[in-house]
Amino acid sequence: MLRIAHISDLHFAKSCWNLSQFFSKQWLGNVNLVFARKRDYLQERLYSLPELFKSLRIQHVIISGDLSTTSQHEEFIMALKFIDSLKEKGFEIVTIPGNHDQYTKKAYKNKWFYDYFPSSFGAIDTYNLKEHGVTAKQLNDQWWVVALDTALATSLFSSRGLFAEPIEAKLKKLLNTLPENARVILVNHFPFFQNSTPRVRLDRGTELRHAGTRCFHCRALGAGWRHCAAVEWFGDVWPAYPRWSRRIGHHCRNAKLRLLPRRSAAVHRLG
């Protein structure tokens, strides 16, 4: 049986108060860290996940973005240390960047995220996240992860992503190269549904949904950003609360995708 853990928005953080931060968006992230995230997030709790995943016989861990808070090198190193702790337990890892991993124009332009995390995962070398915005990893004989990079540097109070037309074209080509029996989990940092305000949504998100629904390979979606537990299908989104568990389980069975019904490990907030 294939067992996958999907986590997101880990937000490893390192306060930085040098004057250069005021020439970028970094100062806003530092203020948010001091007055909100530092109080709500305990990074030490993440290190309980390798043992938990081992007890659940997890094989693959998907991390759908926001490994850092302000895309500093020190934060990426902290995230890399955590990922190494997962690899030491034998898990195979898929990572994609989120908006906080492309938080400043300098980090986005220089693609710092890919100095620390892989751009492809060995299955299809023709496409990689850094150059093409899309790549794929084969999980077993039937299941694949297709990962997207739709994050970009934005203005001060914006957290938008973009499913650009070149990425859309490459995504369609990649999906067409998969074996006929392939079943795909499509992973992106930004949610696939479009119910957010304009400053915090995925531009051309509707086109991404259409690309998925028109591909018979795609069976499920994985995203981050919203800091809540959810199971998302191409038609609807249901928060993963107990009263929805039967409905979620029903649709997982229809898609022949097993769901581990536990509390969300998507974020590591207090409580």
Question: What percent of the chain is modeled with pLDDT above 70?
Answer: 69
83/7 Cα distance (integer angstroms)? 12
Q: How many CB atoms lie within 10 A of CB 213?
A: 13
Q: What is the pLDDT of residues 197-231, one digit of tens each?
A: 666 788 898 899 888 877 878 888 888 877 665 55
Higher pLDDT, 192 or 56: 56
Q: Tell me what pLDDT residue 205 has.
A: 87
pLDDT over 60 at 162, yes or no: yes
Q: Which single residue is written with the structure tokens 């400043």?
A: 104
Q: Tell me what pLDDT residue 245 has.
A: 37
Higher pLDDT, 233 or 226: 226
Cβ proximity of 7 and 265 under 8 Å = yes
Prediction pTM value: 0.81
Q: What is the pLDDT of residues 97-156, one digit of tens each?
A: 999 899 888 899 999 999 999 999 986 778 999 999 999 999 999 999 999 999 998 776
Q: Which single residue is written with the structure tokens 């973009």?
A: 162
Q: What is the pLDDT of residues 26-77, one digit of tens each?
A: 656 666 665 566 566 677 889 999 999 999 999 999 999 999 988 899 999 9
Q: Tell me what pLDDT residue 247 has.
A: 39
Cβ proximity of 83 and 53 under 8 Å = no
- Residue among 66, 72, 83, 71 at smallest CA distance from 5: 83
- Residue among 165, 129, 163, 132 at smallest CA distance from 147: 129
Distances (CA, A) of 266 to 16, 63, 145, 208: 25, 9, 18, 22
Q: Tell me what pLDDT residue 239 has.
A: 44
145/174 Cα distance (integer angstroms)? 12
Q: Tell me what pLDDT residue 252 has.
A: 43
Q: What is the pLDDT of residues 238-255, one digit of tens each?
A: 444 333 333 334 444 444
Q: Tell me what pLDDT residue 160 has.
A: 85
